Amino acid sequence: MQKLHSILLFTVAAFAAAALFSSCQGAASGATGWSYNDSENGGFQQLPYIGQETGPGLVFVEGGTFTMGQVEDDLTGAWDNIPRRVTVSSFYMDEVEVTNFYWLEYLFWLNRVYGDGFPEIVDRAKPDTLVWRDPRAYNEPYVNYYLRHPAYRDYPVVGVSWLQASEFCKWRTDRVNEQIMVREGFLVHNPTGQVDDSFFSTEAYLDGQYEEAAKAADGIKDLRPNGVGYRNVAMTDGIMLPDYRLPTEAEWEYAALSLIGNSGEELITSRRTYPWDGHYVRNDDSRGKYYGEINANFVRARGDYMGVAGALNDNADVTAPVYSYAPNDYGLYNMAGNVSEWVMDVYRPGTLQDAQEFRPFRGNVFSTKLLDSEGNVTDKLDYVQYDIPAIESFIEDYEEAAGSSLTTEGQNLIDNLKSKIESANEDLGVKRVEEAMTKMDEALDLIEESEAPAAPDLRKAWSRNIVGTPGQMRYREVTLEENLDRRNYKVADNIDYLDGDLESSLSYDQTELSDRDDLVYDYGATSLINDNVRVYKGGSWNDRVYWIIPGTRRFLEEDQSSSTIGFRCAMTRVGSPKGNVIAGGK
């Protein structure tokens, strides 16, 4: 039935597109009067566009204003979710949490493309299955089977860090846009040719850095008098979709509350504590067949994770399949319970006091594509780029922790790695980035050739500190010098803007401290807050009911993971906030 519905939508959209295209052929500019799509007038094109297509797995969330933050007693006394009225633009969000099977599909693709040449990229993406272990519980079955056994295929993936989730979103963007380009006849589906940096990347294609051999058609007819016959698809054509990404904290909380279900015209008839009406965790619809059942997967009371045999109240011991329980009024499943979910924001306890009222978010680091001396976008990466200082720090910490337990082979390996890293740092000092990364690859070869017991552990320093992969475009942070005339921002990194920077510290009048980190939040000494700590929202299968309230918030380092944290993707809605009637909107 769902497939037939999709076919009907596509047929209607196709007829609408054909009608629009015929009307566009005679369209003229309202600014100049010259007709579009006419080579005799210069060839400026206006392609038919009927609205943003809804990407796979997404549902439309119509935006609006709401009170973000605390709606219940602040049981933790953190005072980090003070209520504030904000507005969220319309967007799209995954109907369900990302599943184990979606992640296995991701790992399979990575292994197919990078497995032979850059296996460390595959290692980077593997979830930490050891998050299930507990010194006082027998959870080894989940360690061994939860990710890969088909019995858990439709369960939410866990053991995934914020960094890993963000990389999955980038991969999903490219795969979805690749499928659209193949569907529309612009690309050949050619999985055998996808190796190392030779795969479809949305950014690489738009910058003209995708191999011509993979194209099924020459592209869109170029109507310029001096054109070359055909041109590549451009973002202005409206064919490819915006990026999949993690939702912001405001978006996630807004979507979870789904106030669209208890509002009429401009009046919200009653506030919500949970993603459903009422103040109960059980279904209180006496007319429905689920009357009296638990609405979400959480811990009811001490020692009660699933209820009594014969009448399991939430029918789940740990996580549950992602389509369990009733969806909220936006059609989103498990926005309360099952797993907590990563969002984009960097955590600050005072975020809601100084956040913008429109599309609030903390975590902006503004960047731009790297250009050559002629102003052209530089070539995409064809090597792995590592965070060398992070690798150096990892090895030093490992050596200190291992102490006398290191074997002679292990100590020799560490000494050789340090020598390679020192040489790589010298190359970095004179901007020889590619040469520095070659040295780091040589160091990784030393690990792979070593039989020291420490070798597998040391390899993690490389796989965990990858900052660029073959096929990606190159970026740099914007500089103060290029933003001198700007009024809206000056620097690239705005994570600690007005909350953690010099101006917000007790040392605000000491300009010599402007380069010091942790002026306000002394990470590891007086707090666990720094610029690499991310927010996660909602309760999980291992939480009491308090945490399934959408306004609650917690945080964790972006490179850490848990058996209780998963995620779902979001996508920006471009154009009208009301969605599309034909193209898949609400």
The helix/strand/coil state of 129 is helix
pLDDT, position 26: 62
What pLDDT, on the 0 to 100 scale, is given for residue 98? 98
At 530 the pLDDT is 92
Does the pLDDT value for residue 337 go beyond 50?
A: yes
Pairing of strands 91-94, 570-572: antiparallel
The overall average pLDDT reported for the chain is 89
For the chain, give the longest Cα–Cα distance. Answer: 81
pLDDT band of residue 25 (cuts 50, 70, 90) is low
3-class SS of residue 51:
coil
User: 3-class SS at 415?
Assistant: helix
Q: How far apart are CA 158 and CA 151, in angstroms?
A: 15
Q: Is the pLDDT reported for residue 13 higher than 60? A: no
Sign of the Cα torsion 131, 137, 143, 147 reads negative
Asked if residues 273 and 71 have their Cβ atoms less than 8 Å apart, the reply is yes
**Tokens 């009911």 belong to which residue?**
545
CA distances from 415 to 154, 411, 575 (A): 46, 6, 57
Distance in angstroms (rounded) separating the CA atoms of residues 345 and 529: 13
Q: What's residue 430's pLDDT?
A: 93
Select from 467, 464, 450, 390 the least CA-distant residue to 415.
450
Could you read off the pLDDT of 386-431 as tens digits, one per residue? 999 999 999 999 999 998 899 999 999 999 999 999 999 999 999 8
Reported as a pLDDT band with limits 50, 70 and 90, residue 520 is confident
Within 10 Å of residue 484's Cβ, how many Cβ atoms?
Answer: 8
Task: Indicate if the alpha-carbon torsion angle 334, 342, 150, 135 is positive or negative.
Answer: negative
Bigger pLDDT: 148 vs 186: 148
**Res. 298 pLDDT band, cuts 50 70 90:** very high
Tokens of 506: 């007790």
> What is d(CA 207, CA 167) in angstroms, rounded to the nearest whole number?
21
Q: What is the pLDDT of residues 162-220, one digit of tens each?
A: 999 999 999 999 999 999 999 988 888 888 888 999 999 999 999 989 876 556 666 78
From 56, 205, 175, select the one nearest 110 (Cα to Cα): 175
Does position 11 have pLDDT exceeding 80, yes or no? no
